[in-house]
Chains A and B, each alone.
Chain A
Amino acid sequence: MTWNSFIYFALPALLLWLGGAWTAWKKRPIPTYLFTVAGLLVYFAFILGMWFSLERPPLRTMGETRLWYAFFLPTAGLIIYSRWRYPWILAFSTLLAGVFTTINLVNPEIHNKTLMPALQSPWFAPHVIVYMFAYAMLGAAALMAAYLLWFKKSEIIEHELDICDNLVHVGWAFMTVGILFGALWAKEAWGHYWAWDPKETWAAATWFAYLAYIHVRLRADRYRRAALWGLIVSFVLLQMCWWGINYLPSAQGASVHTYNMG
């Protein structure tokens, strides 16, 4: 399996997800589940094929992590849908998955098979996959916040803030698991669980920022707009952590996490 065959998996998967989004909008849960799961299976078949042909998990380059991101967005969408039945969530996740898939179709960044010894660990896949899932949830929360802050004309209702809270709780939980998996792995690979590497530093800042949101929301009746702004700012910090440090002068040569360039 190579990137050349990506389109034959990506397009059917996107069409199935679109079908799921449509039936979710029409409030018909059973076809929604069927379509979305079928799309996920098709997409995952490609990821598995890549995994086998590369002889390593496709998690190293930005193009490869986008693949997982595009896979986890509808997964996250389906989980949220099954829990809270938001009719719009699958349309939204399909749209974002479509964006990441298109980037990969236009610019697949074909890479070689090699994987440096430090990345050859059973921790590698869970560490990155859990993170991708967290990014997907927190991305959804940021978009919801943007909608509530800038586009919604009428007053914000409790229910809409609950959506943000639920997304952040799930996203934060996954982010925490991702950080801790990283710490346990770092102890095995680099001798210390936390070395204030630029990636770790930005992860800590992001983690605190989301914690501030979670705690300010304990005073549910107050600071609403400030909390939503907090989600936007936190998501910007998350971008720094994800890819921003690759371009940050202070991290150049100082981070052991900058192997995913290009």
Chain B
Amino acid sequence: MFNKFWKMKEGFAFGAGLIVVGLALQFSVGPIHWSDFAFPLNGIFLFLFLCSLGLVYVLRHKVRFFGFFHRVEAAVPILLYAAALTVAMGLTRQVPAHERAVDPIGLTQMLSFWPFVLVYLTLAAIVGLIVLRQAFHFRWRELPSMLCHVGLFVAIVSATLGSADMERVKLKATTDMPEWRATHEQGFVELPLAIQLKKFTIDEYPPKLLLVNNKTGKTIPEKNPEVVLIDKHFKEGRLMHWRIRVRENLPLSAPVVTKDTIKYVGWGTSGAVTALLVEAQPMDGDKEVGKPIVGWVTCGSYMFPFQELKLNNQLSLVMARREPERYASQIEVFTKSQEHIVATVEVNKPVKVDGWMIYQLSYDESMGRWSESSTFELVKDPWLPAVYVGVYLLLAGAILIFIVAQKRR
């Protein structure tokens, strides 16, 4: 079988061997516990991995098996095994890292599944060997390909080895006092910094009105309801044969119960609701039919119930739950080095303090815009710079591949 040159067939056989070895490991020593792989163990592994790559590279002409890893016939089958295992991962619902796989083989915990890890490891090894070859036999023609190989190698190795050193915790900050106790999957941790919420703000999208069926409570049409958006340009809108106009718009208000009705008045403190005094006119084409129905509509808050406008026996006009456009937390951070930082954190705009990235995660949704707490995710990833180096090299390689994409003969 292994005469002169190894062919694609041998590549597939080698990959199948990896799967078998992986399965044997999976059933004998159990799935991989990445959390055991924290520094310095990952550093030692990286050193050994790079040394063995160097050795395989140097001996590639002496040992045929080593030489094989530099060939397309090894790369293509491993890529296909990697693709197939990744597809299996995509087809199964994965359980979180700290839980056990829910299937007997371990496919639902793919990242700890030995065959998957061995195939990815071999892939990284092949990429590393090609980097060595392209570096020691540099040709300008191969620059795009080399950048891709280096970038992928650096990114995949540092991301994998660094995963155990990454800390990801959640912290719920309130306006009462600084909070330094955070939670992760295993329970509580005390952080070297504390966060106090100074102010939480939400900008909401303009209110939306829609029709619902009185009996079923379902929107009309059921799946993609027709809506009118009451923004600053709004003059009038149409929902089925109803013409909608707004007579009064109170962004912050509270209900006042009078003798026979409820009306809304401006009121700017916690629990306030947006109230619209709406006029719904039944129409026949462009002609008004009968009298309009006028009344208040709100979507309610944690303090006040919502208010709908009943149009007839079948239909009511309601306001949809307000959607947040932007939410932000003004926070004070206290660090062990006696630093005292004031910053604003919002979605897509994290803040970095003492090596920790602070992300806006959520807020008390039952209180909505009046939330008095804000939840943050704090992430510390010491290997991130290395991953970014890999990402940018791969990016440069991909762009060069696009620029020079041209078959040479």
Question: Which A residues are closer than 8 A to B by beta carbons?
Answer: 83, 109, 112-118, 120-121, 162, 165-166, 169-170, 172-174, 176-177, 180, 183-184, 187-194, 196, 198, 201-202, 204-206, 208-209, 211-212, 215-216, 218-219, 223, 237, 240, 245, 248-251, 254, 262
Q: Once the chains bind, are B394 and A176 in contact (CB under 8 Å)?
A: yes
Q: How far in angstroms is the closest Cβ of chain A from B307?
A: 22
A174 neighbours in B (Cβ, 8 Å) = 398, 402
**How far, in whole Å, are A249 and B227 apart by their CA atoms in the complex?**
30
Q: Once the chains bind, are A120 and B326 in contact (CB under 8 Å)?
A: yes
Q: Once the chains bind, are B90 and A202 in contact (CB under 8 Å)?
A: yes
Most chain A CB neighbours (cut-off 10 Å) among B86, B94, B325: B86
Q: Which of B290-336 contact A (CB under 8 A)?
A: 323-327
Q: Once the chains bind, are A254 and B93 in contact (CB under 8 Å)?
A: yes
Q: Once the chains bind, are B405 and A114 in contact (CB under 8 Å)?
A: no
**How far, in whole Å, are A218 and B79 apart by their CA atoms in the complex?**
14
Asked if B357 is an interface residue, CB under 8 A from chain A, the answer is yes
A170 neighbours in B (Cβ, 8 Å) = 402, 405
Q: Once the chains bind, are B89 and A188 in contact (CB under 8 Å)?
A: no
Most chain A CB neighbours (cut-off 10 Å) among B327, B347, B350, B377: B347
Q: Once the chains bind, are A112 and B227 in contact (CB under 8 Å)?
A: yes
Q: Which of B374-405 contact A (CB under 8 A)?
A: 377, 379, 381, 384, 387, 391, 394-395, 398-399, 401-402, 405
A190 neighbours in B (Cβ, 8 Å) = 359
Given A118-B347, A184-B391, A216-B72, A208 contacting B86 (CB threshold 8 A): yes
Q: Once the chains bind, are A192 and B379 in contact (CB under 8 Å)?
A: yes
Q: Which of B144-180 contact A (CB under 8 A)?
A: 148, 159, 166, 168
Number of A-B contacts (CB under 8 A): 140
User: Could you write out 6 A-B pairs with CB less than 8 Å apart?
Assistant: A109-B224, A172-B401, A184-B391, A189-B347, A194-B159, A204-B86
Within 8 Å by CB of A250, from B92, B391, B395, B402, lies B92
Asked if B191 is an interface residue, CB under 8 A from chain A, the answer is no
Within 8 Å by CB of A166, from B323, B394, B405, lies B405
Given A169-B402, A194-B159, A205 contacting B325 (CB threshold 8 A): no
Q: Once the chains bind, are B83 and A209 in contact (CB under 8 Å)?
A: yes
Q: How far in angstroms is the closest Cβ of chain A from B183?
A: 15
Q: Once the chains bind, are A219 and B72 in contact (CB under 8 Å)?
A: yes
B405 neighbours in A (Cβ, 8 Å) = 166, 169-170, 173
Given A174-B402, A176-B394, A216-B72, A250 contacting B359 (CB threshold 8 A): no
Asked if B353 is an interface residue, CB under 8 A from chain A, the answer is no
- Given A184-B391, A188-B349, 6 more contacts at CB 8 Å? A114-B205, A180-B394, A206-B83, A208-B80, A209-B79, A245-B90
Number of interface residues of B (CB under 8 A): 57
Q: Which of B104-161 contact A (CB under 8 A)?
A: 110-111, 148, 159
Q: How far in angstroms is the closest Cβ of chain A from B184?
A: 13
A248 neighbours in B (Cβ, 8 Å) = 90-91
Asked if B406 is an interface residue, CB under 8 A from chain A, the answer is yes
Asked if B348 is an interface residue, CB under 8 A from chain A, the answer is yes
Within 8 Å by CB of B379, from A191, A201, A237, lies A191
Q: Once the chains bind, are A117 and B348 in contact (CB under 8 Å)?
A: yes
B391 neighbours in A (Cβ, 8 Å) = 180, 183-184, 193
The list of the 7 closest CB pairs from A to B, nearest first, reads: A173-B402, A205-B86, A176-B398, A208-B83, A169-B405, A117-B347, A212-B79
Asked if B238 is an interface residue, CB under 8 A from chain A, the answer is no
Q: How far in angstroms is the closest Cβ of chain B from A169?
A: 4
Q: Once the chains bind, are B76 and A117 in contact (CB under 8 Å)?
A: no
Q: How far in angstroms is the closest Cβ of chain B from A249?
A: 8
Most chain B CB neighbours (cut-off 10 Å) among A115, A162, A191, A250: A191
Return the chain B residue nearest A190 by Cβ. B359
Q: Once the chains bind, are A117 and B87 in contact (CB under 8 Å)?
A: no
Q: Once the chains bind, are A212 and B323 in contact (CB under 8 Å)?
A: no
Q: Once the chains bind, are A205 and B348 in contact (CB under 8 Å)?
A: no
B90 neighbours in A (Cβ, 8 Å) = 198, 201-202, 205, 240, 245, 248, 250-251
**How far, in whole Å, are A170 and B401 apart by their CA atoms in the complex?**
7
A114 neighbours in B (Cβ, 8 Å) = 205, 323, 325
Q: Once the chains bind, are A188 and B229 in contact (CB under 8 Å)?
A: no
A187 neighbours in B (Cβ, 8 Å) = 384
**How far, in whole Å, are A201 and B87 apart by their CA atoms in the complex?**
7
Return the chain B residue nearest A200 by Cβ. B90
A113 neighbours in B (Cβ, 8 Å) = 205, 229, 231
B323 neighbours in A (Cβ, 8 Å) = 114, 116
Asked if B208 is an interface residue, CB under 8 A from chain A, the answer is yes
A172 neighbours in B (Cβ, 8 Å) = 398, 401
